Amino acid sequence: MEKQNMICVSCPLGCDLEVEIRGEEIEVKGYRCKRGETYARNEILDPRRMVTSNVRVSNGDCPLVSVKTIAPLPKGLMGELIEALKQIRLEPPVQIGQVIIRNFQNTGIDIVATRAVGLDSSDQKHEPEHELKKVSEG
């Protein structure tokens, strides 16, 4: 029998989990919701992590667009994903939810944009968002 202590990373509560492995059987204690039990099982059998990073954008109003995996990625593929993201150059506009990589390494997991990037319009970038209508002159 093997015992392992781990912290559930499913949400910011971070439950302290105690996992007992008896051959095929895995017993989990200390979780406050079902996700904790699932997390502990996966952590033994197939550890996965959500990955967030950035991809470069040429001529955008921001040089980067933030991206995420739509589901936790096998931990071993994290480094490979970061490398793949470094090779990409996007052109604006980029929309939130836009697929940047489809089905990464046949995992069925897409990488999507988490922010919008528009065209660089630096000449008028610092104009206030509101219209310049004067309400009253003081």
Partner 1 sequence: MKEIRVDVLVIGAGAAGMAASIESASRGCHTVLLEREDCSGGVLNQCIHNGFGLHVFKEELTGPEYADRFRRQMDEKGVQVRTVQFVVSIDPSKKAVITMSQEGAVVFHPKRVIMTTGARERAFGSLMIPGTRPSGIFTAGVAQRFVNLQNRLPGKKIFLLGSGDIGLIMARRLALEGADVLGVAELMPFPGGLARNIAQCLNDFDIPLHLSTSVVEVHGKDRLEAITIARFDPKTRTAIDGSHKKIEVDTLILSVGLIPQNELIDSFVQIHPTTKGVVVDSMMRTSHPWIFAAGNNVAIYDLVDFVTLDGKTAGQNASRFEETFPSDTLPIVLGKSVGVSIPNKIVKQGDPFILYLRSKKVIEKGIVEIGPGLIRRTRIGIKPSEMIDIPFTQKDLERLRESNLDRVYIDIQEGS
**Per CB under 8 A, does 70 bind partner 1?**
no
| Tokens 């310049």, located at residue | 132
Q: Which is nearer to partner 1, 82 or 99 (CB)?
A: 82
Short-list 13, 48, 12, 50, CA closest to 30:
13
Task: Please tell me what DSSP assigns to residue 114.
Answer: S
**Per CB under 8 A, does 99 bind partner 1?**
no
Q: How far apart are CA 27 and CA 36, in angstroms?
A: 12
Give the one residue of 13, 21, 99, 119 binding partner 1; rule: CB under 8 A. 13
**Per CB under 8 A, does 134 bind partner 1?**
yes
Q: Which is nearer to partner 1, 26 or 118 (CB)?
A: 118
